[in-house]
Amino acid sequence: MATAPQMTDIDQSSAAARRPHRPSGDDFPTSSPLGDKKPSLWARLRAFVPGKSASLRTGLKEALDAPALPSDTSFSASERTILQNVLKLGELRVEDVMVPRADIEAVEIGVNVGFVIERFRQVGHSRMPVYEESLDKVVGMIHIKDVLEEVTEPAKTAAPTAGNGANGHNNQSPIKFVTPVLKQKIGKAELVRKVLFVPPSMPVTDLLAQMQATRMHMAVVIDEYGGTDGLVTIEDLLEAVVGDIEDEHDEGETQMLRAIGDDVFVADARVELADLIETIGTDFDPGEYAEDVDTLGGLIFALAGRVPVRGEVVSKLKGFEFEITRADARRVKQVRITRKRRKQRLLIAGPKPETAQGDGTTPTENQQAAE
């Protein structure tokens, strides 16, 4: 049987010289098993953030937060924003995105269909929660599409004739309204759909998955006592990723805070104090109140110590006065903000006290003596 040739000392020395040098203890191959393949996303992120041995989430977050170089065209500004919001989504809870109880537009289950249509016209929503007795007892939701289908039906149109409309079609409407339905209560008309009930501490990602699984796009947020704390729709969750989505019925940003004069502003009570300071000026200083409240409505409530009524003027903030232009029993809705000019403040404070002369008399006393 043939035996393998033995290597001499000279042959072993030559082979060792041809081997690349490798530090002691390094058992990894010098060449990559992937050959000439491009590096993975994780490898590119590691290269972008050198010296970091963190998770993929941390690496991606740091890469997106880093200043974008002019030569870097990997992501557009909007793409970077969306990706950053997606990473933040895991940290959000339902209470962070919900519509607060005071802003919920709802209808009572005992109203008729005609009333609901009018409410849809007023609020501009496509869905509204339905409650029984009070908002703490939400029984479901109503959709404008279901209402539209309930109050209409196909019309028995006449057969098209020549000259009876364009292309031979008649001018009759293909549907007709079922007017008796307008007087029917929404509970009896079976227009109320189910909604989800979730706690405020529920992660937003879990709620989104639950909405997808159940095909319910509205959730009522319940507090620890079983009362209604807020409301979340699938649009609210989508806005957490892509930003505010304004449709034809949403109030524009200019409607939240607008100047109607040199020193007069009209503001929605929900406007943030930071936005007020940015628009009005740094002389608008909420002071210590800013530690406890975030909105104009909260500031006015803190200044007045209660919910002020419509027409009431609150002037406890230095240099400004607030006139309540819209309010209900629960909250302030709209406010007129007026900056007090120095002359106006002096008139309110009254004239300065007269100083004494050298003989101890005032100018007024000297004038009276002369008379």
Lowest pLDDT segment from 56-60, 78-82, 255-259, 367-371: 367-371
108 and 231 co-located in one domain: yes
Q: Domain containing 215 — which CATH number?
A: 3.10.580.10
CA 274 vs. chain centroid, Å, equals 16
- CB atoms under 10 Å from CB of 278, counted, come to 12
Domain that includes residue 278, residue range:
253-348
6 pLDDT band (50/70/90 cuts)? Answer: low
Integer CA distances (angstroms), 267 to 88, 253, 314, 337, in order: 30, 11, 15, 7
pLDDT score recorded for residue 325: 87
pLDDT score recorded for residue 117: 93
The residue among 172 and 62 whose pLDDT is bigger is 172
84 and 99 co-located in one domain: no
Whether 201 shows a pLDDT value over 70: the answer reads: yes
Lowest pLDDT segment from 75-79, 103-107, 190-194, 256-260: 75-79
106 pLDDT band (50/70/90 cuts)? Answer: very high
pLDDT score recorded for residue 203: 92
Measured torsion, CA atoms of residues 80, 82, 83, 84, in degrees rounded to the nearest 10: 80
Q: Which of 192, 212, 242 is the last residue of a domain?
A: 242
Mean pLDDT rounded to a whole number for the chain: 76
Cβ atoms 286, 273 nearer than 8 A: yes
pLDDT score recorded for residue 345: 46
Q: Report how many domains make up the chain.
A: 3
202 and 223 co-located in one domain: yes
Tens digits of per-residue pLDDT, 358-371?
Answer: 454 554 444 444 44
Q: How far apart are CA 4 and CA 13, in angstroms?
A: 19
**Is residue 2 domain-resident?**
no
The residue among 245 and 259 whose pLDDT is bigger is 259
Whether 209 shows a pLDDT value over 50: the answer reads: yes
Whether 145 shows a pLDDT value over 70: the answer reads: yes
**Is residue 118 domain-resident?**
yes
Task: Find the mean pLDDT for residues 247-266.
Answer: 71
Whether 214 shows a pLDDT value over 70: the answer reads: yes
pLDDT score recorded for residue 250: 55
- 239 phi and psi, to 5 degrees? -65, -25
**Is residue 104 domain-resident?**
yes
144 and 183 co-located in one domain: yes
Tens digits of per-residue pLDDT, 22-37?
Answer: 444 444 444 444 444 5
Integer CA distances (angstroms), 10 to 16, 271, 317, in order: 10, 86, 96
Cβ atoms 287, 309 nearer than 8 A: no
Helix (H, G, I), strand (E, B) or coil at 295: strand
Q: How far apart are CA 275 and CA 58, in angstroms?
A: 31
Lowest pLDDT segment from 66-70, 76-80, 199-203, 341-345: 341-345
Q: How far apart are CA 117 and CA 147, in angstroms?
A: 8
263 pLDDT band (50/70/90 cuts)? Answer: confident
Q: Which of 193, 216, 242 is the last residue of a domain?
A: 242
**Is residue 1 domain-resident?**
no
**pTM, 2 dp:** 0.56
Whether 317 shows a pLDDT value over 60: the answer reads: yes
- Say if residue 226 is exposed, middle or buried (CB neighbours under 10 Å; 0-12, 13-18, 19+): exposed
Of 108-122, 176-190, 327-341, the range with the highest mean pLDDT is 108-122
